[in-house]
Amino acid sequence: GATWWHQADTGGGALLDYCCYGACLSRWFIGEPAVAANGMLANLRSHYGDADDNAVITVRFPHAIAILEATWTCLDHGVPTGPIIYGSTGTLVVDRAGGRQVLMLKRGRGSEPVEVELDALPEGRETLGKEVMHHITTGEALHETLQMGFNLQAQAILDAGQRSAHSGKLELVNNGTWTIG
């Protein structure tokens, strides 16, 4: 039914709901701030509100491109939903296998996908709450993705994508609104 989340004027929409994860992860994986974004959004099936229920942002980084997709209207169809990272020597895909999330490395040309072994999180820091408590009690820095400046950069990607969807033009990420200092 209709809620604030389905109303554009209250900040609702799939772009902000789901592209936020891609904005954060792409900024972290790529390791440099985004330069520009091109966004598109549509309300294709959510007739109880005017907010977007489908969106895509193409993000330009100095040395990479990321595609952030968001939908409220499709069912789980068995295709990995990501993240998916395409590289020059292979592709990393986060997928589900046997009821758990796995990271698979695919090299193509007939080779079988290989599960990548992941390092365990440090003991006593396995959850977000425990990580924050560790930071408070020890003074150690939070993980980069939990830092305010980092998250402002992810928010700037969303802002540029949203502005682009409305202007119909490529929008710069580093503009007067998001330039600090």
User: Phi and psi of 176, rounded to 5°?
Assistant: -60, -35
Considering the domain boundaries, does residue 125 fall inside one?
yes
Q: Count the domains in the chain.
A: 1
Question: Do residues 30 and 145 touch, judged by C-beta distance below 8 A?
Answer: no
Q: How far apart are CA 144 and CA 72, in angstroms?
A: 29
Residue 63 lies in a domain: yes
| Residue 129 in domain | yes
Residue 82 resides in a domain: yes
What strands lie across the sheet with 54-61, from one edge to the other? 64-71, 54-61, 36-42, 171-172
Joined tokens for residue 3: 């809620």
Q: Is residue 34 part of a domain?
A: yes
Residue 179, domain member (yes or no): no
How far is 72 from 53, CA to CA, in rounded Å?
5
Average the pLDDT over 147-156 and give the result: 93
Alpha carbons 102 and 92: distance in angstroms, whole number: 10
Q: What is the mean pLDDT of residues 64-75?
A: 91
129 alpha carbon, distance to own chain's centre: 21
CATH number of the CATH domain containing 83:
3.30.360.10
Range of the domain at 84: 4-172
DSSP H/E element including 61: strand 54-61
Could you report the per-residue pLDDT of 88-134, keeping only the tens digit for each? 899 998 887 777 888 999 998 888 999 999 888 899 999 999 999 99
pLDDT band at 10 (very low <50, low <70, confident <90, very high): confident
Task: Tell me whether residue 33 is in a domain.
Answer: yes
Q: Given CA atoms 159, 14, 30, 131 in this order, what sign does their dihedral have?
A: positive
For 37-56, the pLDDT digits (tens) are 999 999 999 888 899 999 99
